[in-house]
Amino acid sequence: MPAAAVGLSHSPLIGKNDPAPEVLARVDEAVDTARTFIRAFEPDLVVLYAPDHYNGFFYKEMPPFCLATEAHAVGDFGTTAGPLSVDTAAAKALAQGVLDRGVDLTVSARMTVDHGFAQPLEVLFGGIDQVPVVPVFVNGVATPLGPVSRIRALGTAIGEAAADLDRRVLFLASGGLSHDPPVPVLDGAPPRVADALIEGHPPTPEQRAKGEQRVVQAGRDYVAGSTAMIPINPAWDNRLLDRLERGELAEFDSWTVDGMAKEAGGSAHEVRTWIAAFASLAAASGAYDMVSRFYEAIPAWIAGFAVVTAQGR
């Protein structure tokens, strides 16, 4: 089956707290390469793996992963609000295929998503409703988290199920590599914050603006060197990309949740989206080649930032 994968880091600080123009130019070039790659591949279905940042999923029920048969973006950090162009029939077929393979998938018939999903669709396709998509939420923020092997199993099951669809499928991963932005943590949170993380009260526009400004300021503080964040870890990020490039996906099973957080920050778990997407590509096409690989540590965006393309053989 014709299959390909793209990994693209997201950051809500893009356009709000940008790095030097020469860094932006290098990122733009890498993103252009990815767009050209996608145009040449001509996908007719995109399976998008992305995390959430307490806009759609809350501790009242927090699945490790969840596939959507319909989805709606909240429009945080300046991204578009509204419905995603979900291919509901393909989503249902993939969900059944994953469950048939023994992976306990949660399914949402009305998923709420944030910039983690909207940004890659806007950057690569020009909007959140431009391409048939199956959104797959992968928890990369809210502990406790299960072993990485289960994410690989999810990606493999989706890849195998996708192979039955007879479509040209692009597996797209959205996530920073190493990074430690000020995403709230339930353990030890004051009661009001804990309640919001559990129940998910939709913020007022003022509350949303205040929360977003806090993240922008964190980016500025990081650049200025005054921060308690775990630093971006280029060595860790490149180890991850090396393993993806060589197809050594089973090696990720030995990566531990604590080890990942200590070495690469509390949001480094977003790399689960990358592992899922590459496991899908490997399962759908047997073997793959990495076609392009860009990486740069970008403190202004609080992101180990990567853009990668890969083609199934």
Q: What is the DSSP string of 167-188?
A: S-EEEEEE--SS-------STT
Tokens read off for 295: 């990486």
- Using CB under 6 A, which of the segments 7-15, 16-24, 129-137, 200-208 binds ligand LPTKUXOY? 7-15
Could you tell me which residues come within 8 angstroms of residue 217 by beta carbon, excluding any fewer than 6 positions away? none
Asked whether 128 and 76 are in contact (CB, 8 A), the reply is no
The reply on whether position 233 binds ligand LPTKUXOY by CB under 6 A is no
Closer CB to ligand LPTKUXOY, 87 or 237, in the complex:
237
Taking the complex as a whole, the smallest distance from the CB of residue 162 to ligand LPTKUXOY amounts, in Å, to 26
First-last CA distance in the chain: 9
CA dihedral sign of residues 204, 9, 91, 153: negative
Pairwise CA distance, residues 90 & 135, whole Å: 11
The reply on whether position 304 binds ligand LPTKUXOY by CB under 6 A is no
Pairwise CA distance, residues 292 & 232, whole Å: 22
Enumerate residues 265-284 that contact ligand LPTKUXOY by CB under 6 A. 267, 270
The reply on whether position 158 binds ligand LPTKUXOY by CB under 6 A is no
Site string for ligand LPTKUXOY, 13-32 (x = CB under 6 A): x-------------------
Q: Which of 8, 121, 303, 306 binds ligand LPTKUXOY (CB under 6 A)?
A: 303
Q: Which residues are catalytic?
A: 115, 179
Residues that bind ligand LPTKUXOY (CB under 6 A): 10-13, 53, 176, 179, 181, 183, 215, 267, 270, 302-303
